[in-house]
Structure 1
Amino acid sequence: MQKLSIYNTLTRTKEVFEPLHAPHVGMYVCGPTVYGDPHLGHARPAITFDILFRYLTHLGYKVRYVRNITDVGHLENDADEGEDKIAKKARLEQLEPMEVVQYYTNRYHAAMEALNVLPPSIEPRASGHIIEQIESIKEILKNGYAYESNGSVYFDVEKYNKDYDYGILSHRNIEEMLNTTRDLDGQDEKRSKVDFALWKKASPEHIMRWPSPWSDGFPGWHIECSTMSIKYLGQEFDIHGGGLDLMFPHHECEIAQNTAIEKHRVVKYWMHNNMITVGGQKMGKSLGNFICLEEFFTGNHCMLNQLYSPMTIRFFILQAHYRSTVDFSNEALQAAEKGMQRLLDAYNKIAKITPSSTSSANVKGIREKCYEAMNDDLNSAIVISQLFEAATIINSSCDGKTALTQEDITELQEVFDLFLFNILGIKDESKGGNNAHLEAYSKAIDLLLDIRAKAKANKDWATSDQIRDELAKIGFDIKDGKEGTEWKLK
């Protein structure tokens, strides 16, 4: 079996992946808070951990992949105060909170399907695990790392830090946090301003509430992931993933809660993908540089020069290592679109290569270099560069400049099938893919070319030339050959 090394954010080193209970692997990834349309920021962790899921499965591991849905307890300022994000959306739109949850969960699933992100093994919702979260809080109270205050329950960070290490993931210390944490309304309930809520007493106007031993209220944001990950993956499991922006406070608080419940380290490897930026700034609503995935797919946004297909978005994200930042621009997306099309065009030419008795290209090393890149902390960027090398060999062979044996041809096809389509999860959308809009678009072009072919057969050169020239004007490259007419975007 291939030896995979991954960067463990907890130790800040690359470590050889050794599952706790091989061949079984437990993986938990923080999913979305479903109160708005999925955006590019949702796409990156989904694609990153989809690649990990695909690769571990390819290596022969039996992966239980858990990705949660946050539908309660995530407050506006992420610091135990403000209105619940979903409840606020429900109030403004005069809907039941679960209507909001269902609508945006459906939107998220549709976007993930378009991006060819495989569904997880289990997708639990926070609101479906209130009883379990209450039991987790009871255990933390019993072990002495939490306290009740006016019907709410808070985690006692300073007491926990005396026995363990609060800040082990983000490398922060309590003294610095005490000096930098701003005062918040209602903070007088806490013994210390670094403490965080496990359970919040609901105000009279708060919509989402459940009975508990302490009050009618709702769970804090962090306790859901500790509870659901342990429930479905056990008291120790292999991988916990998410975006870098979740490292603190969310994942730091998870580690503290996990340890306070189980009295030992629960997660072996912590993995974090980096951010998507616009001109060096994090993409976000508050900065006005926020683009939903549906807007990319339709081109309906002032920052977009054109529409970008789901596979272009996926390829764009995979061109960078998951721990590197990715800076959005139309130029970068257009380059990704052309690069992906170059690989797809090369793959489609493989079947047209005439095999030779001898070879003048080094094909056999490409597969091993792709494995080396994947085993080096999932370096998808290097995998793509190797696929471009393969594309160059294919194009050179089609031009009669490089000789390939049948063994070479088979190897090239297998490398593309394995790495481009299976592990990287790219689909050829011109062949239908998983996007109905693109399939209809492809059929429309084929229909025009059929009309043009009939015009040529009838020697109606004016109509034939007009269709060709008009398609060229809007960005299509039309080539007539012995086997018919081929088209692609320029």
Structure 2
Amino acid sequence: MSLYKSNELKLYNSMTSEKEVFNSILDGRVGMYVCGPTVYSNVHLGNCRTFISFDMIYRYLRHLGYKVRYVRNITDAGHLTDDADQGEDKISKKARLEQIEPMEVVQRYTLDFHKVMQQFNSLPPSIEPTATGHIVEQIKIIEDILEKGFAYVVDGSVYFDVKKFNDDHQYGKLSGRNLEDMIANTRELAGQSEKKNPQDFALWKKASPEHIMRWPSPWGDGFPGWHLECTVMSSKYLGEQFDIHGGGMDLKFPHHECEIAQGEAAHGCSPVNYWLHANMLTLNGQKMSKSTGNSILPAELFSGDNDFMEKPFAPSVIRFFMMQAHYRSILDFSNDALVGAEKGFNRLIDALEIIEDLPVSDNSSVDVKAWKAKCYAAMNDDFNTPILIAELFDMIKSIHAIKDGKAQISKQDKDDLVSTFHAFFYDVLGLQTASSESNNADSEALNAAMQLIIDLRANARADRDFATSDKIRDDLAKAGIQLKDGVDGTTYSVK
């Protein structure tokens, strides 16, 4: 029997501000959408915390036996500099500053994002759609919303009519805002905007002549609104109504609020059953900010090349540190906190090394069954990883007592202890031992070295130096590395 049938999982639903028993729409299956990164710069640590939190949630749902379709998008167009309807597209702005194509920006920072998440041992989502790959679907849903009277066109742009929507729906219910209060508190001068009301948001923006990223539409050349992208991609791959929508706390308003409005306007139903939000990070007690210099990138943490930490910290130590706080709580990064987390992480590693060789007895003085139940109870209580980790540490005391002959454990209980400890350390918390991280680092180093060799061989072939080209290929083959030339370039495999 799947574990989800015997475990009552409760989630904190941001829509109701209460913990609710989780019941998936389809038995044994979960549809989960998480707002992904806007790929115009290196992924920052705050974003990493959100994605690591939902990776943990994804892992636990799978551990319980659910078949999870996890969709996390890549925003590669339409996200403006002020996160609303004004300003410049962040990717276009970066491309203009660096004098490169927007898709070069997208490629560079998508690869960076994937690399960092792999270093944090996060599982890839089931589907990772891009905004630019779904322009046709976005135009179609805008046409549907226009037809139903919840949007209007102004000079090539299309805006969602929030006031009209609010006549029969409730705009602001996720974030606890009241539209009348929002309108009353608005001080925008009449005629300053082409929108009917300041609260209206763009479904499609007309592209100015200098705007790089643009697509044809029934309303003229333009680009999609940021909020619309997620509505389209979530409904395409998960349906008009799905189980879980996640993201950072900062997305609750206006982004997720607008998603709800778009979904209800287009499909006539509330799109999501459970809204989950991860909280923010601070650095030394202050908000992380590039402008003030109070900011640090994951790579700078891994290398130690920063002004905040006394030494480098391994990705698993940083991930473990994040797991020590509940995903809905604010987490402060500091040197002392990471040093302390590293000590705790090493205690778990020591226990993993000891646990396999514990002596067994005919009887047990350690109640593994009760401990295991506490571990599941922690995770079933809105993924309470701090309590789970406390339970792991509590068992470490018993592990040392058994090792020292001060407690006993039967073979059956030992097997249950080992499998449970491993399941929560590796599969649920997503932690790795140093050897696992080293293997990943070795693999990255080999890929980089092989790419250099492949490039040198390509240069030799371009110069018609076939003797050198053949020697590289043959000597690598002797070393157990086979090169394969194809239409998309040269790849390698290790025998």
Contact 2:206/2:223 (CA < 8 Å) preserved in 1?
yes
Q: 1:333 aligns with which of 330, 333, 338?
A: 338
| Equivalent residue letter for 1:316 | F
- Aligned pairs for 1:155-174 (under 5 A) are 155-174=160-179
Distance across 2 between alignment mates of 1:35 and 1:26 = 28
Alignment correspondent of 2:144: 139
1:181 to 1:393, Cα distance in 2 relative to 1, 3 A? farther
* AA of the residue aligned to 1:327: D
Checking the alignment, whether the CA contact within 8 Å between 1:160 and 1:256 is kept in structure 2 is yes
Q: Does residue 43 of structure 1 match 2:48?
A: yes
- SS of the equivalent of 1:121 reads coil
Shift of 1:287: 3.5
| CA displacement 1:459-487 (0-9 Å, x = unmatched) | xxxxxxxxxxxxxxxxxxxxxxxxxxxxx
Asked if 1 retains the 8 angstrom alpha-carbon contact of 2:172 and 2:257, the reply is: yes
**Structure 2 residue aligned with 1:372:** 377
**Quick check: 1:78 aligned with 2:83?**
yes
Is residue 236 from structure 1 mapped to residue 204 from structure 2 by the alignment?
no
Corresponding residue SS for 1:188: coil
Q: Residue in 1 aligned with 2:223?
A: 218
- Picking from 104, 111, 115, the partner of 1:106 is 111
Q: Does 1:308 align with 2:313?
A: yes
> Closer, same or farther in 2 for the Cα pair 1:290/1:179, shift >3 Å?
farther
Selected match of 2:431 from 426, 432, 438: 426
TM-score normalised by length of structure 1: 0.87
Q: Deviation at 1:53?
A: 1.1
Q: What is residue 159 of structure 2 aligned with on the other side?
A: 154
> Structure 1: how far apart are the matches of 2:420 and 2:438?
20
Question: In structure 2, what is the equivalent of residue 202 of structure 1?
Answer: 207
Structure 1, residues 240-262: CA drift from partner, whole Å, max 9, x if none?
00010000000000000001101
TM-superposed deviation, 1:437? 6.3
What's the counterpart of residue 466 of structure 1? none
8 Å CA contact 1:237, 1:268 repeated in 2: yes
- One-letter amino acid of the structure 2 residue matched with residue 278 of structure 1: L
| Structure 1 unmatched ranges of 5 or more | 441-490
Q: What secondary structure is seen at the aligned counterpart in 2 of 1:19? A: coil
* Structure 1 range deviating more: 407-416 or 109-118: 407-416
Residues 358-397 of structure 1 mapped to structure 2, 5 A cutoff = 358-397=363-402
Q: Which moved more, 1:120-129 or 1:424-433?
A: 424-433
Shift of 1:417: 1.2
Query: Paired residue for 2:452?
Result: none
The answer (yes or no) to whether the contact 2:283–2:295 under 8 Å persists in 1 is: no
Q: Distance in 2 between matches of 1:315 and 1:158?
A: 45
1:118 paired residue number? 123
Alignment partner of 2:291: what SS?
helix
RMSD: 1.8
Q: CA deviation at 1:181?
A: 4.3
Amino acid at match of 2:341: A
Tell me, yes or no, if the aligned pair for 2:81 and 2:88 is still in contact at 8 Å: yes
Contact between 1:81 and 1:185, CA under 8 Å: does it hold in 2?
Answer: no
Equivalent residue of 1:337, what SS? Answer: helix
Q: In the TM superposition, what is the alpha-carbon distance from 1:363 to its structure 2 partner?
A: 2.4
Asked if the contact 2:53–2:278 (Cα under 8 Å) also holds between the matched residues in 1, the reply is yes
Q: CA deviation at 1:182?
A: 5.7
Distance 2:24 2:436 in 1: 38
Shift of 1:362: 2.5
2:42 aligned with 1:25, yes or no? no
Name the SS of the counterpart of 2:320 in structure 1.
helix
Deviations 1:387-407 (A, max 9, x none): 001111112222332222223
Residue in 1 that maps onto 2:326: 321
Quote the residue 1:128 is aligned against.
133
The number of residue pairs the alignment matches comes to 440
Within 5 Å, give how 1:213-292 maps onto structure 2.
213-292=218-297
Amino acid at match of 1:379: N
State whether structure 2 residue 413 is matched by structure 1 residue 401. Answer: no
Q: Are 1:347 and 2:346 counterparts? A: no
User: So what's the TM-score if we normalise by structure 2?
Assistant: 0.86
Deviates more, 1:11-20 or 1:176-185: 176-185
Q: Which amino acid aligns with 2:164?
A: K
